[in-house]
Amino acid sequence: MCEWCFKHGAGKKWYLNSKNYLAETAQETGAHEYIFELWKQFEKVYLQKIYGLSMKGPGYKFSMPVVGRALKSYVNTWFTKEKPLNGRNPRRGEGHLGQVVMLDDAKKILELASPILRVNCACRHMTRGIKDPCCLAFGALAEMVPKLPRYVPDKGAEVMHIDDAQEFITEMNTAGRIQTVWFGPMPYIAALCSCERPECAATTIRMEYGLNSLNKGEYVAKVDFSKCTGCRTCASRCDFGALSFSDSTNVPFINAWQCFGCGLCATACPENAIEMVDRNENPLLKDVW
């Protein structure tokens, strides 16, 4: 398990600890005020400047050996900031860390979260101006969304029953969307998103700039070659460049170091030839988040 599981998981995955969804936890972390400022200023989190550099398009600076390492180290402290609870800056996304989750775990999350409100995705609104109600807000975030009208879907705010929410994220998974769960702020859990590259800001800055705003999931994909028929159904399901096909053997190859554990390839396989295994079972991957 990742370090947040040990700190905030009570012996299990951090996003399956019911305490992290409680109204008391929201109050302790100042979640309502934090969430309002974060979502109100969402573009500024992405477009702000660090030492005079805009976060939009700073790849060449991050690639510089000395300057790049220093910048990444500095920015990465934002996402994992835990204390002081009321001193975190929402305009820098401090304490706002996410993790990729498989569909099965995403369904378990929805059994813990209440109320569940379907809202417009902040990333898709920011990057493409699209009003796409593909994210699920919980608790404090669900309560604050009415004060942030651009995140309210055109048909109005939709409170979802657990069964309906689980069916919805299953549809999103089938459509190739990646489920991610979010601290808001740590350790309070505020949202489950269903987005994709390149719209997902966290995935983009993780993949392109190496900023750890989004952790890899608890699992990695593994192919059972005895079941694989080479149908290539999984070929277009990986947003992380971890899956490729061998023309000579007509079977998929999964680079476990690049795999984020979203499980999209596994849920698409008609032969159940791809299984998701615990990252911690591989000694080379247990610290690769």
pLDDT in tens, 126-136: 878 889 999 99
CA dist., res. 188 & res. 4, Å (int) = 12
According to the model, what pLDDT value does residue 62 have? 64
On the question of pLDDT at 50 being above 50, the answer is no
CA dist., res. 10 & res. 14, Å (int) = 7
Question: 129: exposed, middle or buried (C-beta count within 10 Å: 0-12, 13-18, 19+)?
Answer: exposed
CA dist., res. 175 & res. 35, Å (int) = 28
CA dist., res. 24 & res. 87, Å (int) = 18
Scanning the structure block, which residue is given the tokens 């404090």?
140
On the question of pLDDT at 263 being above 90, the answer is yes
Domain boundaries, the chain: 3-215, 219-281
On the question of pLDDT at 148 being above 60, the answer is yes
> Predicted confidence band at 41 (pLDDT cuts at 50, 70, 90)?
confident
The whole-number average pLDDT for the span 78-98 is 88
Topology (CATH) of 219-281: Alpha-Beta Plaits (3.30.70)
Query: In this predicted model, what pLDDT tens digit does every residue of 2-30 receive, in sequence order?
Result: 888 999 998 899 999 999 999 999 999 99
- For residue 84, what are the contacts with CB-CB under 8 A and spacing of at least 6? none
The whole-number average pLDDT for the span 263-271 is 96
CA dist., res. 235 & res. 252, Å (int) = 8
The Cβ-side half-sphere exposure at 26, using a 13 Å CA radius, reads 21
- Four-CA torsion 111, 37, 70, 204, nearest 10 degrees: 60
Cα angle: 173, vertex 198, 212; to 5 degrees:
90
% of the chain beyond a pLDDT of 70: 92
> Predicted confidence band at 217 (pLDDT cuts at 50, 70, 90)?
very high
Question: Which amino acid, one-letter code, is at 243?
Answer: L
According to the model, what pLDDT value does residue 45 have? 67
According to the model, what pLDDT value does residue 49 have? 47
According to the model, what pLDDT value does residue 52 have? 45
pTM (two decimals) = 0.92
**Measured between alpha carbons, how far is residue 183 from residues 15, 97, 231, 288 in Å?**
9, 5, 38, 20
Q: Bigger pLDDT: 209 or 118?
A: 118
- For residue 90, what are the contacts with CB-CB under 8 A and spacing of at least 6? 34, 35, 37, 38, 41, 45, 96, 185
On the question of pLDDT at 54 being above 60, the answer is no
> Predicted confidence band at 210 (pLDDT cuts at 50, 70, 90)?
confident
CA dist., res. 44 & res. 89, Å (int) = 12
For residue 248, give both structure tokens.
């000579």
CA dist., res. 191 & res. 254, Å (int) = 29
According to the model, what pLDDT value does residue 260 have? 97
- For residue 182, what are the contacts with CB-CB under 8 A and spacing of at least 6? 96, 97, 98, 189, 190, 191, 192, 193
According to the model, what pLDDT value does residue 63 have? 67
Average pLDDT over all residues of the chain: 89
